[in-house]
């Protein structure tokens, strides 16, 4: 049974058609990444799936009772507001301290429960967001640019954690990412979006597809080289773990 099926989905905002003819489904345990240029409708696609936006065309069928965990693009917290990680995790729903502790463990940050949110590194903050999304034991985990602002080691480490979560919990993972180099190694399937699905398939297939090359550049010889990053300086860095 698919986690969801989107059939011919389209949506417009103020007369502008943002997405059209989107047909997409996912199986349990799959890791699927959506890539595409800015404004190509990636976040809109995720928000449709979460149920936050009604579609104008087509239909979205979710597995009955599908449990979704959502990590939004950016959550702003007032840094002057004292709040521990544990309190933040229990804000929205009634959960036990044991559940919080399990979720933090799953997210790879077992020792952070009593830390202040304002003291966390970017990587640690995103793992708290991940832990929060895991509280409801999702069958589908949806992440919208969860690694935005993290450096390369932080990003790679975050994706390794996602892979671990998938193994431990068996959930499907649908994410939007601009980290093409990691996407290609961390995903089972890549969807290339630009108002419609331009191409999709295994990472190696998508990386060599002309539609993908047209969007992300010809000279990359695949995505791996695209975001190559050389360090010629040293700096101290507080990683997520």
Ligand X SMILES: Nc1ncnc2c1ncn2[C@@H]1O[C@H](COP(=O)(O)OP(=O)(O)OP(=O)(O)O)[C@@H](O)[C@H]1O
> Looking up tokens 């980290």, which residue turns up?
179
How would you label 64-76 residue by residue, b for 16+ Cβ within 10 Å and e otherwise?
eebebbbbbeeee
Of positions 40, 126, 147, 177, contacts ligand X by CB under 6 A:
40
Residues that contact ligand X, how many (by CB under 6 A): 11
Binding flag, residue 213, ligand X (CB under 6 A): no
Please name which of 140, 136, 158, 141 lies closest in space to residue 149, comparing C-alpha atoms. Answer: 158
In the bound state with ligand X, the residue whose beta carbon lies nearer, of 113 and 175, is 175
Give the CA distances from residue 85 to residues 74, 108, 122, 128, in Å, rounded to whole numbers and listed in that order.
17, 14, 14, 7
In the bound state with ligand X, the residue whose beta carbon lies nearer, of 42 and 213, is 42
- Cα–Cα distance measured from residue 236 to residue 224, given in angstroms and rounded to the nearest whole number: 26
- Cα–Cα distance measured from residue 25 to residue 35, given in angstroms and rounded to the nearest whole number: 16
In the bound state with ligand X, the residue whose beta carbon lies nearer, of 18 and 224, is 18
Strand pairing report for 68-71 and 57-62: unpaired
In the bound state with ligand X, the residue whose beta carbon lies nearer, of 122 and 136, is 122
Binding flag, residue 108, ligand X (CB under 6 A): no
Binding flag, residue 124, ligand X (CB under 6 A): no
Least distance in angstroms from the C-beta of 35 to ligand X: 9
Burial of 133 (0-12, 13-18, 19+ CB in 10 A): buried
Binding flag, residue 210, ligand X (CB under 6 A): no
Of positions 31, 41, 150, 158, contacts ligand X by CB under 6 A:
41
Which residues does residue 201 pair with via DSSP β-bridges, in sequence order?
A: 190
Of positions 1, 15, 38, 231, contacts ligand X by CB under 6 A:
38
Least distance in angstroms from the C-beta of 174 to ligand X: 13
Query: 151 and 236 in contact (C-beta within 8 Å)?
Result: no
Binding flag, residue 17, ligand X (CB under 6 A): no
Binding flag, residue 114, ligand X (CB under 6 A): no
In the bound state with ligand X, the residue whose beta carbon lies nearer, of 104 and 173, is 173
Residue 186 is given by DSSP the state H
Judged by the rule CB under 6 A, the positions of this chain that interact with ligand X are 13-14, 18, 36, 38-44
């Amino acid at each position: 049974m698919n986690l969801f099926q989107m059939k011919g989905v389209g949506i417009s905002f103020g007369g502008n058609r943002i997405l059209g003819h989107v047909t997409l489904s996912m199986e349990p345990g799959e890791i699927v990444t959506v890539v595409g240029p800015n404004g190509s409708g990636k976040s809109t696609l995720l928000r449709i799936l979460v149920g936050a936006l009604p579609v104008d065309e087509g239909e979205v069928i979710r597995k009955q009772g599908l449990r979704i965990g959502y990590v939004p693009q950016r959550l702003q917290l007032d840094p002057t507001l004292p709040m521990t990680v544990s309190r933040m995790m229990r804000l929205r729903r009634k959960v036990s301290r044991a559940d919080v502790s399990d979720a933090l463990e799953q997210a790879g940050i077992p020792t952070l429960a009593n830390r202040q949110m304002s003291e966390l590194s970017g990587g640690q903050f995103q793992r708290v967001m991940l832990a929060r999304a895991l509280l409801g034991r999702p069958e589908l985990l949806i992440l919208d640019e969860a690694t935005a602002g993290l450096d390369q080691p932080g990003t790679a480490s975050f994706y390794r954690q996602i892979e671990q979560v998938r193994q431990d919990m068996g959930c499907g993972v649908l994410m939007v990412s601009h980290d093409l180099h990691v996407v290609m190694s961390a995903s089972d399937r890549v969807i290339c979006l630009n108002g419609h699905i331009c191409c999709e398939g295994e990472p190696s297939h998508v990386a060599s597809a002309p539609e993908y090359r047209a969007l992300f550049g010809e000279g990359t010889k695949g995505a791996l080289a695209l975001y190559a990053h050389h360090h010629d300086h040293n700096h101290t860095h507080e990683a997520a773990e």
